Amino acid sequence: MEVVTPNWGRTLKMKIWTVGSEKTFIRVLEPKKESGMGTLRVGSEMWNYFPRIDKVMKIPPSMMMSSWMGSDFNNDDLVKEFTFLHDYSFRLVQPEGSVPGITYLEARPKEAVPVVWSRIVAAVREQDLIPVWEKYYDDKNALIRTIIFSDVRKMGGRMLPAQLELVPAKQPGHKTILRYKVIDFDQVVDQKIMTLRNLQTWQ
């Protein structure tokens, strides 16, 4: 993950395990200062681990919206169980500047789903349904953030964009780029990984 801000830029290397949309485990490998830091998310609870002081901290609500590791993603993004499939309703649209060969979908959250986005527009390649970009809008139809997908290649047996770039619309000079190096799907993830004990285990 590369984070760019007007004040600094950093790149982190990490390993991530997920089980469905219920559990997520992240271990930071590089740089040295953060090496060994971890985040565990089970359901709607989340913990961070700091190896330097050997401390596990449960994330209180006040920290939920703060950025994860300084990036433009926040803790809430990691915790969100909402998938496009279950919690949004879709329709096809034709926005301005639409390009041939791309299908555009507008997703609106279903009633009572606690997300701040009023709607999300996704651009998908018609031929292979690979996402190109996603745009997030608020109630007043202002663009709040854009995610750009690129570097499509075969990973873990599937064709996927290996790079995600998140650009906040209202914060010039900020962006976060995720580059997937290796992905394995449909693995059986050892349940012991999704535990606090594992979070604290680091040499």
Partner 1 sequence: MLLLILAWRNLFRNKRRTFIAGAAIGLGLASLIFTDGLILGMEQTMVRNLTASFLGQGQIHAAGFRQTTAVEKTIHGLKEVVGRLERDPRVSHFAVRALSQGMLSSAADYRPVEVIGVEPDRERLVSQLDDMIVKGRFFTDRNPRDVVVGADLAKDLAVSIGDRVVLTVAQSQTGTLAQDLFFVSGVYRFNSRDLDSGMALILLPKAQDLLALGQNAHEIVLDFRNPDLAGDSKNAFWREYSQGGDEALGWPELMPQVELAFRYSELSLYVLGFILFGVVAFGIINTLFMSIYERIFEFGVLRAIGTRALRVAGMIVLEAAALAVVSIAIGMVFGFLATALFSRVGIDYRGIEMMGVTIRNLIYPVFRVRQFWFYPAWVIVFTVVTSVYPAAYAARIRPAEAMRKTL
Partner 2 sequence: MLKIAFRNVFRQKRRSLLTALAMLGGFVLASFSIAWGDGTYSDVIRSFTHNRMGDIQIHAKGYLDHPSLYKTIRDYQRIGAVAAAQPHVEHWTPRVYAGGLASVGPRTTATRIIGIDLDREIATTGFSGKVISGTVFSSEGIKQAILGKDLAGLLSAGVGGQVAVVSQAADGSVANDLYTIVGLTSTGDVNSDRTDFYLPLKEAQDFLALGNQVHEIAVTVDSTAHAGETASRIAATLADPNLSIEPWQEFAQDFYHAMKADLQGMWIMLFIIILIVAVGVLNTVLMSVLERQREYGVLRALGTRPWEIFRMVIYEADFLALGSVALGSVIALVLNYAFSIHGVTLGEPYSYGGVNFDRFRTELNLRSFLIPAATVMVSALTVAVFPALRAAWTDPARAMRIH
The residue ranges that bind partner 1 (CB under 8 A) are 43-46, 58-62, 64-65, 74, 76, 79, 109, 112-118, 136-140, 142, 144, 170
Q: Kindly write out the interface string for residues 50-89 of this chain, putting x where it contacts partner 2 by CB under 8 A and - elsewhere.
A: x-xx-x-xxxx-xx---x-xx-------------------
Sheet holding 23-30, edge to edge: 13-19, 23-30, 38-42, 45-50, 55-58
Q: Is 140 helix (H, G, I), strand (E, B) or coil?
A: coil
Q: Kindly write out the interface string for residues 34-53 of this chain, putting x where it contacts partner 2 by CB under 8 A and - elsewhere.
A: x--x----------x-x-xx
Count of residues that bind partner 2 according to CB under 8 A: 24
Please give, one letter per residue, the 3-state secondary structure of 83-99: CHHHHEEEEEECCCCCC
Q: Between residues 100 and 172, which has the closer beta carbon with respect to partner 2?
A: 172
Q: Is 24 helix (H, G, I), strand (E, B) or coil?
A: strand
Please report whether residue 19 would count as binding partner 2 according to CB under 8 A: no
d(CA 114, CA 194): 25
The residue to which tokens 């169980």 are assigned: 81
d(CA 122, CA 135): 6
Please report whether residue 10 would count as binding partner 2 according to CB under 8 A: yes
Residues near partner 2, by CB under 8 A: 3, 5, 7-10, 31, 33-34, 37, 48, 50, 52-53, 55, 57-60, 62-63, 67, 69-70
